[in-house]
Structure 1
Amino acid sequence: MNTMETWIAEVCAELGIDLADQKATTAQVLDLTKDVAHGVARPAAPVTAFLVGLAAARTDDPDAAVADLCTRLAARASGWSGEG
């Protein structure tokens, strides 16, 4: 396990989260935050990841929600012009 995987495992244990597919979810969120940081603004990246987590937690299938939200928001960030 690398440092990030160890940290994520410790955070999940602390928060009582059973992250079944940690590597896939981690990769999806990292890709999303990269796209948001480069396409929107750096400070928007962690906030976006937080919001994805909140939204996913409110669904019946959080894993699927994370995948869907990451895909949709990454596309939005890559084409974002700063106009609503």
Structure 2
Amino acid sequence: MSESSDAKAMSEWVTAVARELGLENAVEAGPTVDMVLDLTSDVAHGVSRPAAPVTAFLIGVAAGRADDPAVAARDYAGKVSRMAAGWDADTERAVPANDQSQRA
């Protein structure tokens, strides 16, 4: 399967799942897919491969509880990506999980 057919299949799949879950107008397929792929890549490389889909699920649950889920998902994805980048870093660079002083 070529990269463009992968992208087409992904777009069709995300559109179908969004429709099935009643989320047609709640997510923009392109930006959402890019955000999730970037996040899961960061987690897979910085923490562990199996942690990536679970992390995406947790962000989705947390974002779903927010007043504006799309904005919350982007915010949470950014925070968790930064957390993953420093997960196994030395103590000078690492940011402890849930360090309130590091939150924006």
- Tell me the TM-score normalized by structure 1: 0.91
Structure 1, unaligned runs of 5 or more: none
State the aligned residue count. 84
Identity across matched positions, percent? 48
What TM-score results when the alignment is normalised by the length of structure 2? 0.74
1:45 shift after superposition = 0.2
User: 1:56 — aligned with what?
Assistant: 63
| Whole-angstrom CA distance in 1 between matches of 2:12 and 2:83 | 31
Instruction: Select 2:48's aligned residue among 41, 45, 57.
Output: 41
Ranges of 4+ aligned residues in structure 1 off by more than 3 Å = none
Query: What is the letter of the counterpart of residue 37 of structure 1?
Result: A
Normalized per residue, the structure richer in helix is: 1
> Within the alignment, does 1:8 sit opposite 2:14 as a pair?
yes
What do residues 18-65 of structure 1 show as CA deviations (whole Å, max 9, x unaligned)? 234221111111100000000000000000000010000001101100
Unpaired segments ≥5 residues, structure 2: 1-6, 90-95, 98-104
- RMSD, aligned CA: 1.8
Structure possessing the higher radius of gyration over alpha carbons:
2
